[in-house]
Structure 1
Amino acid sequence: MHEVVIIGGGVIGCLSALNLLDAGVRVTLIERGGVGREASWAGGGIVSPLYPWRYSQPISALADWSQGFYPQLAARLAEDTDIDPQVTPCGLLWLDSEEQDVALSWAAGRGKPLLSVDAEFIYRQVPVLAAGYENALWQADLANVRNPRLMAALRVALAANPHCRLLEGCADARLLIEQGRVAGVRCAGENMQADAVVLAAGAWSGEFLAELGMALPVVPVKGQMLLYKAEPGWLSSMVLCGGRYAIPRQDGHILIGSTLEHEGFDKTPTEAALNSLRASAAQLLPALAMQQPVRQWAGLRPGSPDGVPYIGEVPDYPGLWLNTGHYRNGLVLAPASCQFLADVMLGRQPIIDPAPYAVTAGRELLAG
């Protein structure tokens, strides 16, 4: 395989490109807007599913591999681009208590360093936390990545590679079909022939398969976030309760997220979400009640039925590959998903079992 076109310039598309370039493949990456400006920019960047014990083995396998790989990915990008993605292992406190037994059993079975901790530990670790928490779960090695910096670094790395072509602002991309196989992409009046096309367009992926008369069950799921600013180190660890979280950045910014809304492709920030997220911020970190948020924004997750991404070749259209449908865990799962995609595309031994991610075995695409 010598020439690949990737549709989608989020973290999945960019890391897919980087892995293929590392293997000597020439890559054209097409993005409808700007590289890294959709869900990959909008997310929180916790390098873990929010409640990892709730997820199936296929998601856990991708998450485990990615968690181990993120530090070296960040180091490589920082060296190559002078942009540090800031993978910060600040730890995470789960303040929900209802699932402690399930969570600890899950952790013991997987060798995860998850601990049950008491109030003394909680307030020693996060002194600015609201009063009243008596127990929590704690994992010290969990990190967050500053995803806007990650995407900026990936863009610089790809743009500097002589075997990569970046095409941004290409909203008219269409698949080229020749003799029953996908042979490339037409965009901006140009036919780009390729040995394979990778569809990594997140919430927009289904639009391309609809052209082929197929329905991909990946839909946009809106998430809204707030940003606050404090002194660096004011919030020392990530905290999570009731599905809402606070994430500290190295410069003192704090992310509060997030909503889960089915509003189609509408990304408009709303007053209702602002009020809800401000209430969550105050419940977790009372000092934030006296502050105005620095910013509010929204992004669209690629929601799939079970949260397991589609990674593999589309059986009825040779040459067309999917890497999409990561739902709430695109940033979490990206390193493994993209390494795995490159493995199966290039005929290498894959890092994990391909079966759960394939477009087969009960995960078929439906006739449109």
Structure 2
Amino acid sequence: MIPEQLPDKGAFLGPVHTTDTFEIHPDCRHFVGGRPCRYWQPCHGCPHHDPVDHRVLILMLGLLGDMLIASPLPKRIRAEKPAAYITWLADEACAPILRMNPYVDEVLVHNWESAAQLPSRRFDAVYSFERTPSAAALVDRINAGHKAGLAFGGPHHALYPMGEAAMQFFRQNTWNDYRTITNSQTWTELYFAVADYTYAGEPYVLDVPEPARRRVASLLGNRSGPRVCLNLGGSLPTKLWPVRHWAELADALLDQGAQLAVLGGPSDRDACEALVRHLRMRGADESRVAYTPLSLEEAAALPGLIDVMVTGDSFGFHLALAHEKPTVLLLGPSNGAEVIPKHLANVTALRSALPCSPCAHQVACGGVGGCMDTIDPAAVLKATLDHLTAI
């Protein structure tokens, strides 16, 4: 029961209200239901009231790099439909990168609770970029006026495209030639097309928390000289450059006076530590080679504090793009046309010499790899120094 007279201004952090002025705005962007919103104000007369009239759900559970690739899309949706409310369904491990996108109103963590909750929601549009059957199968159970992208099920018990705009996106995931021969669109262009927009070269959206940036700045110190980030990470073994090549490159960069920052995800920790041990043994201390396992927020901050990134096709590459840093990109199975934005001129791509590259990960080698091995450390050094000279 609402009391006859609500608490005074000091206790309620707002004007005095009675039952006559007590009201709720469930259409507000900030409304959470069952508890006060982040502004901690009563709805009546609230200056932050922001009515929503279009609700969008984006499905992409994992793939951190793809979340950055698609990061300009929520901003475009909000530009076209200012009253849109954008929910993104994602795995808990990937949720922090989406919370760094101010145009995503709600990051819904994929678990049993959200799976039970989704059928009770109503969306105006659902854009499904999820390629795993278990996640794509959620689409059929979601109540929405418009659905586009990939779903799972139907008479063939398989992934299928929803809408003509999703056909090329669907083909990308079916066979090699669609990705390596016929396709000239980046993933960003494909994601925009699924949502019925034309990509106009908008930059990635990444709003790094200031505490994370300060922690990484402290790790790097204030040593003068060029900073180069060596990102050893990769989502597939076939996309990894050998540690011996990283060591050869790192030795040469140290000889050129560079400070190195070593980056990799949890699965790359052994390779990162092996490289750092090698560099420590040649006398490079923490002031010359910076490395420690980083949180996702800290990893997102690191490329903003260096001069050049050297990386394979991975999350680290897209972090460099988000910070608009000059980048040397090492390509083995990956098709550069998919991942390098057409409007950027500060990415130098070096490709494997093997004729089967790119293979879009449908590998003739049976997953053994070897194409990345053929990228010459001397060529990578030259490309890195060229970028440093141009700064």
Same fold by TM (over 0.5)?
A: no
Higher relative contact order (Cα pairs below 8 Å, separated by 6+ residues): 1
User: Which structure: larger Rg?
Assistant: 2
TM-score by length of 2: 0.29
